[in-house]
Structure 1
């Protein structure tokens, strides 16, 4: 019996040893496929979080558009928690902006944005041309570089911590393109390039846009990578029951959605597990609702748990999987030993590299690099500037990739200004500015303004930066025809036609991106006569000679409806010769705008201005008050005088109940105004009114619609399109 027990124990031991030595069964490889869907693509983060919590290894990732972004972050080694933290910190108003941030513009480009606050510009390179997208995509590129910087110029995306592919569409060949090598950030930029919104990305002979057009759910690609089992996360557009009432843009957008959903449906047949989270009540542009999207993705994974849990591995195997991923992850921390600029040449390249020397020899600060990139595009002639890691002579550095605008320079900006404060006198003006860059020298430019409508004007200035430095000379010429209303009380009694033809020369100094001071001489011929009203009113004709000086400082955060910062402009014109000028006199004026934030949703704008001729009584007084945001309860230019002052205080609050973003800059406004324009100091008592309405930043400029009630019962309903404050 003892012998039998010994034999049984021995056999059991041998059996256990054999079982331990036997290799574990081969685990089937899992592919995760993530579809596009703009902000709805945030659901993918919730799905990944559930997969990690339940020890489900992902061996391959393929994605399109926002699915490409989330998939690319995961493939680069990020955990679900790191992806979550990264996305929550993104300021989507900065990422999706069509232009460089206002503070990073040069002072001349700030003038463009303030004078013509429109999102549209045209170029005249090889004829009149529009940009290839509403946004060049620089904000997206800089956001991508924050995590994808170490993965530049890769032989294959198989070398990422998790092998990865993303999809793009080539506009040249009209075919779907699998992006599998090169720069990871550029691949993600291509897959997210929604046509018409972001400019296409050039890549060799290809022009790449959003991959969702032809393959929004690349299950087939994940299969070719080697995946045995496919987990597909897709987002379908819900049926549109109101399709019969869609606008032109609505029909176009819905048609694209139908096409994208159709190609995704075909690929779904290849998937093993399908997750389709409920996105009811959430829109593609709701970037500020990330947390809700992420939760719904997680909930969908919970709902499909009984299928997904069959793919889970044990704790030991899971830890080995995580360790292998982290071992392949590259770190972004390094100190660049050189900076080189690609995309421009000659003196332009030298100047840019010189401006970036502060990045050399210091630990990489992506926020600082981002700032330098937007300062480059803030010059106005480049569409994007981004960066990748580079190696030269065994040293690590940065390669700055600068892309010039494809449509210009020269650059043409145009805007339509509407002022509906008078029922019988709606003021309409089309204004435009044509700018030739580096005309006659670096940072020099030839700028011509023209407008047609209630005011017809042509002003052309050559701005010559001496030696490319801060000192400049600015000769100019101008023609100006405008109408001037004269009032008696609340009644318009006459209208003058005023014609000016003149020239001038200024010298000045530019203070980088925030201001300039200039002074010079001006000569102009004035012809002002009554066009409507009593012929007994005086006319003026003759040549005026004057010296002038101007100072301007712009520290605002935004041009149209600023949330914080200040703007100050002051000037004086010393008129020393001309019709009815018996002795020299000054025309002094100043304007200040101050914006102060109160919370994420609300802020206050204070607008102050004033002017005087220092006691000189002239026929056509230069200062006026009346009209929207200039004593709004009065008629346009109802008050006129040789002295003026104004104070406007406006409380602004986001209309949607969310913090203001690029996609949501509409406010309701409540304001108080006081001011006057007068000749006799004894007539300078202030006029008071209250103002209410809705203000919005639109692609066509600022828009304000509302009403005002004055101190004596005056009241007006009005609208304004163009410049507001």
Structure 2
């Protein structure tokens, strides 16, 4: 009490010197300081609880409506996010809007959106290898430390907190703030009070195993809920006389709810969180207030981020249930206005960065600075454009070499600039991958292939790669390939591969409508490539293909003989790919044009020329998608050998026929498809139907629309971590029908 009276006396003297008296004509800041010294200091403790934390926003709305001045805020996990946004000057309505605008499904994955990947990375989809892959480092196989590194989530936090990014002391925010994390090495609470605010918030909600830990000041930090999920003690230490604690943590599971090992793990984690929460609640005094929004009654879980509006409303109602108690903490409208004036909003006072004085790369990787810089369209002298900056980060991250790429604004002697920090994958940039492919048309046999790949990168100065791919099963492959960009922007490239491949070809008698023979072909050879990437959407390349091979008759008339062949051809290839998903797209287009010239002078057994054109596009609305496509192929002189014939048949390529049942010198196919998404969970499931019209021909004068075969299919599909999974019924002209089960590329 003596200290408080001394403060009042000092303020009174200062006010008298300025205006004669505090109560008449005194500056608002002095009045607010005097009033703050007279009233109890109020601290707000916001607990963690995932998506349930949106309820904190509803509580903040009520506190503002009742004009309750908040002097301190401490938050854990989701509470740290809401607390930081509010402490940095955002209103409850602005926070609510931000939570609802975030695409949480997108944020909680590190995968670069497909339409933002390099063209090289898009081609990986054709290999049907599992995208989650262990790394290779120091001769060992290593795994990531978490399911999600948090690349996109970090950028969301950075953008939301950008106006206060240069505030390093959290006491200098509009409201003094603390984020609570846990030291993974000791299990002890770590209270973050200074540094990078976005990084502190990110550390506070780094759920172990789910989100990657954050290194700060030599400590590896994870979610604060492990040590102090409801940081009452923290706001008390900050100076709070009265604590308003909001507990939105998830309750423990009942015995009936524990049905798997995941339930057991969740319950064990819940014990840690619940126990420390209860200890904090026990420290509350009669002057404090505990608000527990009844989120369980609405069935809102920690993962229901799309229900933030409901959670906010529940939090608001829960706070209003304590109106009588809270009202006693409120101040008059004039006093509240002075409180706000004494706590200026740094978001409103922050001057925009008109021009960047410097743009620097903080490179913690084996990738050259030049390769990283080439992905950015941001230069010194440019205005700060967060969209352009994040676009460059997305391109650099899409190269596939980095664990995380972020940025921060820095001020140096009055000059403002941006520092981009690139962190190499701690588990290794090189990788191992595996894949599984299954194709069966019940009653007509099945194909099974097991694949794997080893990719060594960076290969060369411009982050190329050396990949070796193996496939064992019905179709065998062993190919080792080098991809070598010629410039840091990876616009021009050379490459090549060497390997063995085997495939099954069928000869088809169009007149008799029956298969004449089956050939098992194999080849050993090499390809050389030179090309240009067209941003992320396309590619042009020239390829020389040289190989030796043989074709063995496995089914056919006795007079058919095995034969050897040589391949020597040049190909000019152009491709575009803007699909957002290779097998289940909702937008974009996919196309290619190939001009192939086989010549004896290039080492081939025979001369022939071919043209192959593919194009498909998709449009969608909500859960509905319509997709259409055309494939046209022709051999100009109709003299292509068996191993170079065009093949048709199978799911989506005249459904009802066996895969590659038809072959010929010419091919035409039209396809239309409707697809409907059945769910919103992590593994999307679809139902759909297709209509197809096409055929193959051996002579150009036989090509007629009336000879085209009409086919269709009905299917169920799922986009699984192992690849696309299809179950389909197909029928061609009422004669040929099949039920397909496919895992991996269906066509």
**TM (normalized to structure 1)?**
0.89
**CA shift digits 1:119-151 (9 cap, x unpaired):** 402211221112222332111111111122244
Cα distance 1:391–1:238, how it changes in 2: closer, same or farther (>3 A)?
A: closer
Shift of 1:351: 4.8
**CA shift digits 1:86-126 (9 cap, x unpaired):** 22322223322322222222221222245346440221122
Cα distance 1:510–1:20, how it changes in 2: closer, same or farther (>3 A)?
A: closer
Where in structure 2 are the equivalents of 1:236-251 lying within 5 Å?
Answer: 236-237=249-250, 240=253, 243=256, 246-251=259-264
Is the contact made by 1:628 and 1:720 (CA closer than 8 Å) also made in structure 2? no
SS at match of 2:535: coil
Where in structure 2 are the equivalents of 1:318-357 lying within 5 Å?
Answer: 318-329=336-347, 331=350, 333-335=352-354, 336-344=356-364, 348-353=368-373, 356=376
Match of 2:60 in 1: 48
Cα distance 1:327–1:214, how it changes in 2: closer, same or farther (>3 A)?
A: closer
Where in structure 2 are the equivalents of 1:133-282 lying within 5 Å?
Answer: 133-152=146-165, 154-237=167-250, 240=253, 243=256, 246-271=259-284, 272-279=288-295, 280-282=298-300
Q: Does 1:413 align with 2:436?
A: no
**Count of aligned pairs between the two proteins:** 704
- Which whole-Å CA distance do the structure 1 matches of 2:364 and 2:394 have between them? 16
**CA shift digits 1:183-226 (9 cap, x unpaired):** 00111111222233322222243222222233222222222222
Q: Does 1:679 align with 2:692?
A: no
Is the contact made by 2:566 and 2:604 (CA closer than 8 Å) also made in structure 1? no
- Which whole-Å CA distance do the structure 2 matches of 1:478 and 1:228 have between them? 74
Match of 1:570 in 2: 593
Cα distance 1:350–1:546, how it changes in 2: closer, same or farther (>3 A)?
A: closer
- Which whole-Å CA distance do the structure 1 matches of 2:65 and 2:546 have between them? 77
Cα distance 1:414–1:583, how it changes in 2: closer, same or farther (>3 A)?
A: closer
- Which whole-Å CA distance do the structure 2 matches of 1:345 and 1:618 have between them? 49
1:396 to 416, 419, 423: 416
Cα distance 1:254–1:470, how it changes in 2: closer, same or farther (>3 A)?
A: same
Where in structure 2 are the equivalents of 1:648-663 lying within 5 Å?
Answer: 648-656=671-679, 663=682
- Which whole-Å CA distance do the structure 2 matches of 1:501 and 1:397 have between them? 55
Moved over 6 A (4+): 17-23, 486-494, 578-582
SS at match of 1:546: strand
Match of 1:64 in 2: 76
- Which whole-Å CA distance do the structure 2 matches of 1:341 and 1:278 have between them? 47
Cα distance 1:87–1:522, how it changes in 2: closer, same or farther (>3 A)?
A: same
Is the contact made by 1:702 and 1:722 (CA closer than 8 Å) also made in structure 2? yes
Is the contact made by 2:454 and 2:468 (CA closer than 8 Å) also made in structure 1? yes
Please report the RMSD computed on the Cα atoms of aligned residues, expressed in angstroms: 3.2
Match of 2:582 in 1: 559
Q: Does 1:525 align with 2:548?
A: yes
Cα distance 1:418–1:163, how it changes in 2: closer, same or farther (>3 A)?
A: farther
Shift of 1:395: 0.5
Q: Does 1:311 align with 2:341?
A: no
Is the contact made by 1:149 and 1:332 (CA closer than 8 Å) also made in structure 2? no
Where in structure 2 are the equivalents of 1:87-106 lying within 5 Å?
Answer: 87-106=99-118
Cα distance 1:504–1:216, how it changes in 2: closer, same or farther (>3 A)?
A: same
Q: Does 1:27 align with 2:39?
A: yes
Match of 1:7 in 2: none
Shift of 1:83: 0.9
Match of 2:17 in 1: none
Q: Does 1:618 align with 2:631?
A: no
SS at match of 2:441: coil
5+ unaligned residues in a row in structure 2: which ranges? 1-19, 25-30
Cα distance 1:146–1:486, how it changes in 2: closer, same or farther (>3 A)?
A: same
**CA shift digits 1:382-432 (9 cap, x unpaired):** 122111111234301111111111122223333322324335633322333
2:481 to 455, 461, 481: 461
SS at match of 2:319: helix
Cα distance 1:213–1:719, how it changes in 2: closer, same or farther (>3 A)?
A: farther
Match of 1:296 in 2: 314
Cα distance 1:392–1:136, how it changes in 2: closer, same or farther (>3 A)?
A: same
